[in-house]
Amino acid sequence: MVSTKELIEQLQRLLHREGSADETPKKERKDVALVLSSGGARGMAHVGAIDVLLERGYHIRSVAGTSYGSIVGAVYASGHMDEFKEWMFSMDRRRMLQLTDFSFGPSYFVKGDRIIREMQRFVPDQNIEDLPIPFTAVATDWKTGREVVFDHGSLWTAVRASISIPGYYKPLMHEKMILIDGGLTNPFPLNRVKRFKNDLLVGVNVSGHDYAGIFKRKRLADAMKRENSIVYNLFYKMMPEQSGLGLNFYSMINQAMSISINANAHRSIELYKPDILVDIPMRRYGGSDYDKSEAISKIGRAKMGRELDKFLGVGHEVTK
């Protein structure tokens, strides 16, 4: 009979072997652990990036995402990307308003239930552990400020928690926690994706906005107007500015989150160093420009194509 000590030693050897460095050159690897950042409507670039990965013959074996990255990740992991693209590419501002269930509560403007119900038409709720590939979403515990990781349980509970932008969406009450947007704690969860042996760590970060540059412009309000976002039209105009500085409730919340998300995303990049990083500074589009989804997706296609070319060091034509 094998002793307990021998069993432990065998297990340690097995774990060491499974975790040891693989000799397969990275350029020859085709299996991917994919990470998708937060970023609102800019996250539609994730869709184009995924398309190019698949067209180039890569196999996405797991996916993790935060906020809008969790939406795209959930849709991909469940196998419903085509329906999602058709729906989002046909989105216009009228439809966006119809999907926005305004509720002007004490701490939020939008309940956020209607958009989830709409997506459940083509991605029914299911347990994360039953998905074809591993999926992880990240939210934030409002009381403790800690990251909350969803890798099992209801798929849409995880997504709804992850997208709960404070001050905009109603927080999600779950297991005695008040959950808000995961972008506050881990907007680019490179450390949360399930990685298998031989996997390339591929990250798409759409939180690379030039936030500091905004303040160098004449006024923050002018920069937001140039985004022509539906959020500006709905909220910014109806709230008074402070001392002509372009500051009000919406602009303060938006800018504070942007600064935090951008800093945390780049800290994650420095710590976990993805094999392929698609870093997309979105200066042309706002976080609520869902009616421009197809154009944003094309940016993701182009950037992923360029980064794959750079990674491989060969002369592939950039995917348009």
Q: Would you name the residues annotated as active-site residues? A: 67, 181
The position carrying tokens 């009228």 is 94
β-bridge mates for residue 201, sequence order: 33
Q: Of 208, 199, 180, 214, which Cα lies nearest the Cα of 268?
A: 208
β-bridge mates for residue 278, sequence order: 204
Instruction: Name the H helices within the chain.
Output: 4-19, 45-55, 68-78, 81-89, 93-98, 113-119, 155-162, 211-216, 220-227, 230-231, 249-272, 293-312
- Backbone torsions φ then ψ of 186, nearest 5 degrees: -150, 80
Q: Is 8 helix (H, G, I), strand (E, B) or coil?
A: helix
Contact 266, 16 (CB under 8 A): no
Is the dihedral angle over the CA atoms 81, 87, 92, 97 positive or is it negative? negative
Name residues whose C-beta falls within 8 Å of residue 253's C-beta, 6 or more positions apart in sequence.
166, 167, 168
Residue 258 tokens, joined: 């942007």
Q: For strand 31-36 and strand 59-66, is the pairing parallel, antiparallel, or unpaired?
A: parallel
Distance of CA 38 to the CA centre of its chain: 3
